[in-house]
């Protein structure tokens, strides 16, 4: 069911960019646009380099235009969101920690990413396809609609032939533009990245690699085009001669010594250098919006230089906001098969796509934020559920409603959601304690609210699966909850009279209070009753010492149940342990 487009209001950053992009797109159209129906197709773009696992940090490259494109679609316009797969870029280095890859892959450095073998055991035909596939699957789960364009296909099919010949004819102009920046030192990129995060997401490996050189100035002059060697396939080539009329190009390979002369008008095995390639594609596709990371947006960067070069191709620079890096919390400690760098698939294992979309939608692109893989995810989910409740009862602010609406679906409809979205922290505790026993998990979750039990665990899915995955993969072993097998008789024997009484009060109330709300009331009530107050007394009616008494009572229960000072919230823990076992462990 399509979401009603409640989006013409300028309520958030997405709406404001959509306004700007539509206006710019219409300004570029020949003739006057009088209605949505005769408006040009709006083109927005992202670029991704499948040079290795595509990091979660690079997802912003896609989510920023996606959200803007989606808003434009909701307004009834046609939009193309291009994702340029920069799979014709050179293979730069063997990334660390990728399963099925060893040092022997180093021999492929310099070849196009699509000419490098996929990791061992991969069902995909080459390196680029292997890493693209994982990203494509994540984007589908996130509801991101896009047109993928393989730059290998574009270049090797000759799609850019005219543009390449044009760039070669105008190499002097291009060289003059690039020359303005060659003497200027690039800004201290590393320092800008430092502010991002402890986990140091290396987004610099993103699209187009800003570090790539901008073409070679050999003895034959400057050329913005680089062939891949006809013998060894590497790009360690130098153009030694070029004739504009015949388009005859001679190159030599410094890797293998091969040299040949080709006719560029018929030759499809090479590419424009990055700083020329990017603006060429803006012009070729008519891109109106393409954000970029801070490393592409600084003075002398490819975005800025591209703005000067794009005119050579008869195009215009897109609206291109700079986006700040996205950090990760809690992943640094984790050992990962991918060298500790999380991908969107890793995030989607522990959170629903709605939550991940929300993180991007609610922050302006220039604000950095962190994606939580640690305990913080529980608080984030609390916040998300609170927002959902506010939206439902009409008390949410317009900007928050906008972010929520963008998170739960797209112009094409709502994303599949969990039928019974029980609190994530409760699901995580239950998964923690039941350790894969689904029947137990279902029993406990049904006891949370006995008046409205769960028919099957599926009603709590996929959120339950995400919480379970989080517990299993991101909570260190020493923080996992292990319920005692046998009562701690030593501790039970050593209890003083008031402690014994508190345990007794709890046991006496268990049967009557066996639900999440009931047990919450009970565990907080016991110390009140012991101190001579009503279990219903509110904090204002109680002396501050009650808090201390509650804390020591809780610590005692944790010790008796799980042998530690702390653990999951007690009511959840009690439900998870089950009434009979609680009675045994508490010495009844
Ligand atoms: Zn060669």
pLDDT tens digits, 514-568: 998 999 999 999 999 999 999 999 988 999 999 999 999 999 999 999 999 888 8
The pLDDT of residue 323 is above 60: yes
Give the whole-angstrom CA distance, residue 447 versus residue 465. Answer: 19
Ligand 1 centroid – CA 215 distance (Å):
18
CB under 8 Å to 54, separation ≥6 — which residues? 48, 131, 132, 134, 135, 343, 344
Task: Determine the pLDDT at residue 201.
Answer: 40
Find residue 12's DSSP bridge partners.
none
How far is residue 476's CA from residue 431's CA, in Å, rounded to a whole number? 14
pLDDT-based confidence at residue 340 (cuts at 50, 70, 90)? low
Separation of CA 233 and ligand 1 centre (Å): 6
Q: Please provide the DSSP assignment of 265-309 as one string.
A: GG--SEEE-HHHHHHHHHHHHT--B--EEHHHHSTTSHHHHHHHH
Q: Say yes or no to pLDDT of 204 above 80.
A: no
Look at residue 5 in the predicted model and tell me its pLDDT. Answer: 46
What's the angle, vertex CA 243, arms to CA 241 and CA 249, rounded to 5? 50
pLDDT at residue 563, as a whole number: 93
* Helix, strand, coil % over all residues of the chain, rounded to 5: 50, 10, 40
Confidence of residue 332 (pLDDT cuts 50, 70, 90): low
Tell how far the Cα of 234 is from the centroid of ligand 1, in angstroms: 6
How far apart are the CA of 232 and the centre of ligand 1, in A? 4
Confidence of residue 219 (pLDDT cuts 50, 70, 90): confident
For residue 251, report the distance from its CA to the centre of ligand 1, in Å.
Answer: 10
> What is the 111 CA–ligand 1 centroid distance (Å)?
10
Angle at 488 between CA 485 and CA 492, to 5 degrees: 145
pLDDT digits (tens, 9 = 90+) for 80-136: 999 999 999 999 999 988 899 999 999 999 999 999 999 999 999 999 999 999 999
Distance 118 CA to ligand 1 centre (A): 21
Q: What is the pLDDT of residue 208?
A: 42
163-176 confidence digits (pLDDT tens): 999 999 999 999 99
**H-helix or E-strand containing 551?**
helix 545-562
Q: DSSP letter at 541?
A: G
439-479 pLDDT, tens digit each: 989 988 998 888 999 999 999 999 999 999 999 999 888 88
**Residue 84 bridge partners (DSSP):** 47, 149
227 CA distance to ligand 1 middle (Å):
10
Q: What is the DSSP letter of 147?
A: E
Compute the distance from residue 265 Cα to the ligand 1 centre, in Å: 21
With a cut of 60, say whether residue 7 has pLDDT above it: no
Q: Using the mean position of ligand 1's atoms as its centre, give its distance from the Cα of residue 247 in Å.
A: 21
Q: Look up residue 116 and give its DSSP letter.
A: S
Ligand 1 centre from 237 Cα, in Å? 7
Distance 250 CA to ligand 1 centre (A): 13
| Ligand 1 centre distance from Cα of residue 19 (Å) | 49
Stretch among 28-32, 361-365, 483-487 having the lowest mean pLDDT: 28-32
Checking 578-585 for CB contacts under 8 A at 24+ apart, the result is 578/440, 578/443, 578/444, 579/510, 579/511, 579/514, 581/483, 582/510, 583/507, 583/510, 584/487, 585/483, 585/484, 585/487, 585/488, 585/560, 585/561
Measure 573 CA to ligand 1 centroid, in angstroms: 65
- pLDDT band, residue 140 (cuts 50/70/90): very high
Instruction: Inform me whether the pLDDT recorded for 190 exceeds 70.
Output: no
Whether the predicted pLDDT of 159 surpasses 60: yes
R_g over Cα of the chain: 30
Instruction: Say if residue 199's pLDDT is above 80.
Output: no
Give the number of other Cβ atoms within 10 Å of residue 176's Cβ. Answer: 12
Pairing of strands 270-272, 225-227: antiparallel
Please list, in sequence order, all residues whose beta carbon lies within 8 angstroms of the beta carbon of residue 297, skipping any fewer than 6 positions away: 303, 304, 320, 322
Q: How far away, in angstroms, is 243 Cα from ligand 1 center?
A: 22
Using pLDDT thresholds of 50, 70 and 90, give the confidence band for residue 294: confident
Residue 249: helix, strand or coil by DSSP?
strand
Give 156 Cα–ligand 1 centroid separation in angstroms. 18
Residue 306 has pLDDT above 70, yes or no: yes
Residue 265's pLDDT is 97
For residue 205, is pLDDT > 60? no
Q: How far is the CA of 115 from the centre of ligand 1 (A)?
A: 14
How close is the Cα of 173 to the center of ligand 1, in Å?
Answer: 29
Q: Measure 112 CA to ligand 1 centroid, in angstroms.
A: 13
State pTM to two decimals. Answer: 0.88
Task: Collapse the DSSP code of 347 into the 3-class scheme (helix H, G, I; strand E, B; otherwise coil) and give the result.
Answer: helix
- Band the pLDDT of 339: cuts 50, 70, 90: low
Mean model confidence pLDDT for the chain: 90
- Confirm if 368 and 196 have CB atoms less than 8 A apart: yes
pLDDT, residue 526, reads 96
What was the pLDDT predicted at 261?
A: 98
Contacts of 586 (CB under 8 A, 6+ apart): 487, 492, 503, 506, 507, 557, 560, 561
CA of 256 to the centre of ligand 1 (A): 4
CA of 197 relative to ligand 1 center, distance in Å? 40
User: How buried is 270 (Cβ within 10 angstroms: 0-12 exposed, 13-18 middle, 19+ buried)?
Assistant: buried
Averaged pLDDT, 304-322 = 96
- On whether the CB atoms of residues 7 and 411 are closer than 8 A, the answer is no
């Amino acid at each position: 069911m399509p979401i009603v487009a409640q989006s013409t209001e300028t309520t958030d950053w997405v709406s404001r960019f959509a306004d700007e992009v539509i206006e710019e797109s219409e300004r570029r159209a020949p003739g006057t646009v009088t209605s949505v129906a005769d408006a040009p197709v709006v083109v927005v773009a992202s670029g991704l380099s499948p040079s290795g696992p595509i990091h979660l940090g690079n997802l912003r490259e896609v989510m920023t235009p996606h959200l803007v494109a989606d808003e434009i679609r909701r307004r009834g316009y046609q939009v193309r969101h291009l994702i340029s797969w920069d799979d014709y870029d050179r293979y730069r280095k063997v990334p660390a920690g990728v399963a099925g890859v060893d040092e022997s892959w180093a021999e492929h450095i310099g070849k196009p990413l699509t000419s490098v073998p996929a990791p061992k055991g991969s069902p995909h035909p080459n390196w680029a396809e292997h890493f693209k596939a994982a990203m494509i699957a994540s984007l589908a789960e996130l509801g991101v609609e896009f047109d993928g364009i393989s730059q290998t296909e574009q270049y090797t099919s000759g799609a850019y032939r005219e543009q390449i010949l044009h760039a070669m004819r105008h190499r002097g102009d291009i060289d003059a533009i690039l020359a303005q920046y060659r003497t200027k030192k690039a800004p201290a990129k590393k320092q800008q990245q430092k502010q991002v995060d402890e986990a140091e997401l290396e987004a610099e490996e993103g699209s187009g690699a800003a570090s790539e050189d901008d073409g070679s100035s050999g003895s034959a002059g400057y050329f913005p085009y680089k062939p891949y060697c006809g013998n060894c396939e590497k790009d360690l080539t130098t153009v030694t001669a070029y004739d504009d009329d015949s388009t005859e190009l001679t190159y030599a390979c410094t890797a293998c010594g091969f040299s040949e002369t080709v006719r560029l008008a018929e030759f499809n095995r090479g590419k424009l250098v990055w700083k020329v390639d990017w603006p060429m594609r803006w012009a070729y596709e008519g891109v109106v919006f393409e954000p970029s990371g801070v490393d592409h947006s600084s003075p002398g960067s490819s975005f800025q230089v591209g703005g000067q070069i794009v005119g050579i191709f008869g195009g215009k620079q897109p609206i291109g906001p700079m986006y700040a890096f996205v950090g990760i919390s809690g992943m640094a400690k984790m050992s990962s098969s991918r060298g500790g760098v999380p991908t969107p698939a890793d995030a989607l294992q522990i959170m629903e796509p709605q939550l991940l979309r929300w993180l991007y939608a609610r922050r302006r692109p220039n604000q950095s934020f962190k994606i939580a893989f640690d305990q913080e995810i529980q608080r984030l989910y609390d916040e998300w559920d609170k927002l959902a409740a506010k939206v439902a009862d009409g008390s949410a602010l317009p900007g928050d409603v906008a972010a929520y609406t963008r998170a739960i679906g797209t112009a094409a409809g709502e994303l599949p959601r969990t039928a019974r979205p029980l609190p994530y922290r409760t699901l995580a505790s239950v998964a923690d304690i039941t350790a894969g026993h689904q029947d137990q998990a279902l029993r406990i979750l049904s006891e949370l609210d006995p008046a409205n039990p769960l028919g099957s665990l599926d009603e709590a899915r996929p959120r339950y699966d995400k919480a379970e995955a989080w517990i299993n993969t991101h909570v260190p072993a020493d923080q996992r909850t292990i319920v005692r097998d046998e009562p701690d008789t030593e501790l039970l024997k050593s209890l003083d009279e008031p402690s014994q009484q508190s345990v007794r009060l709890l046991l006496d109330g268990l049967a009557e209070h066996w639900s999440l709300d009931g047990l919450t009331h009970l565990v907080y009530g016991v110390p009140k009753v012991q101190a001579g107050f009503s279990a219903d007394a509110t904090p204002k009616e109680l002396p501050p010492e009650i808090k201390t008494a509650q804390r020591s009572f809780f610590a005692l229960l944790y010790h008796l149940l799980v042998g530690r000072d702390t653990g999951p919230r007690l009511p959840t823990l009690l439900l998870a342990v089950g009434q009979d076992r609680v009675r045994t462990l508490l010495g009844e």
